A and B are shown apart, each in its own frame.
Chain A
Amino acid sequence: MKKIISQTEIDVNEEGYLTDFTQWNKEIGQEIAKEQGIDMTSKNWEVIDYIHEKHNNEEPLSIRGIKKSGVINIKEFYNLFPGGPLKKATMIAGIPKPKSCI
């Protein structure tokens, strides 16, 4: 599926996740966040950086991982990305939705 975000055409799946990470940049992340009703603070971007780092190292993301991350605790994570934090944060980060159940 094609989608235009901040004057750029990007490929997304039916849920709105980018299918090609090379198309991602911060402006696109910002726009996706806006669509999801999320206000991006510097702390939000810190979390996105952490998610990118995990993704680059091919380490699976989980809520337990967030707890151990040292970047953010679970309560803050839910506050920063309301309405399903990991699925929204990964969407903003331009990576696939985590497949784990935990």
Chain B
Amino acid sequence: MSTKVKKMLFILSKATIENVYAAFIMANGARMEGIESEVFFTFFGLEAIQKKKLERLRVATVGNPAMHIPTMIGGLPGMEALATKMMKKEMEKLDMPPVDEFLEILSDSGCKLWACKLAVDMFHLKEEDLIDDLDGVLTIGDFYNRADQEGCQLLFI
């Protein structure tokens, strides 16, 4: 059985848990369907591949109407941590892996993981700050070259 989508390229620019998981689940789901997938981490998305930060990603409680928390309360100290804890608990119930394990699964599944060169330079990150499973640091031009084939889709998150 052939599929029309042959390759999915994700650009992850945010570090809130819901966005990171959206990218990871879709990238992993693609591999599970026999579709190639790659993730390009740029700007705040880089937090998801920084050894020291990836375990501390949070859900945004301010400026997110779907959380149903008034903005004033969402901004109180500890609210983000509380909401994150609750969300992680629900995710664990569904057997969703934590960020570090998810990255390992993606890499083992053949999903390529790239860091954006410009963002890496801007945040003064070094190779050792980033996860070992990273496939490399690319410019956006390099990344577009990886999209240069039939049946390829790009998605910005």
Interface residues of A (CB under 8 A from B): 60, 62-65, 67, 73-75, 78, 82-87, 100-102
In the complex the two chains form, what is the Cα distance from A99 to B96 in whole Å?
14
B65-121 interface with A by 8 A CB criterion: 94-97, 101, 105, 108-110
Report A-chain residues with C-beta under 8 Å of the C-beta of B42: none
B63 sits at the interface (CB 8 A): no
Contact A74 B109 (CB under 8 A): yes
User: B85: shortest Cβ distance to chain A, in Å?
Assistant: 20
Size band of the interface chain B makes with A: 10 to 19
In the complex the two chains form, what is the Cα distance from A82 to B35 in whole Å?
11
Interface residues of B (CB under 8 A from A): 25, 28-29, 31-34, 94-97, 101, 105, 108-110
Report A-chain residues with C-beta under 8 Å of the C-beta of B96: 102
Q: What are 27 A-B pairs at a CB distance below 8 A? A: A60-B95, A63-B28, A63-B32, A64-B95, A64-B105, A65-B95, A67-B101, A67-B105, A67-B108, A74-B105, A74-B109, A75-B108, A75-B110, A78-B31, A78-B108, A78-B109, A78-B110, A84-B32, A84-B33, A86-B32, A87-B32, A87-B33, A101-B29, A102-B25, A102-B94, A102-B95, A102-B97
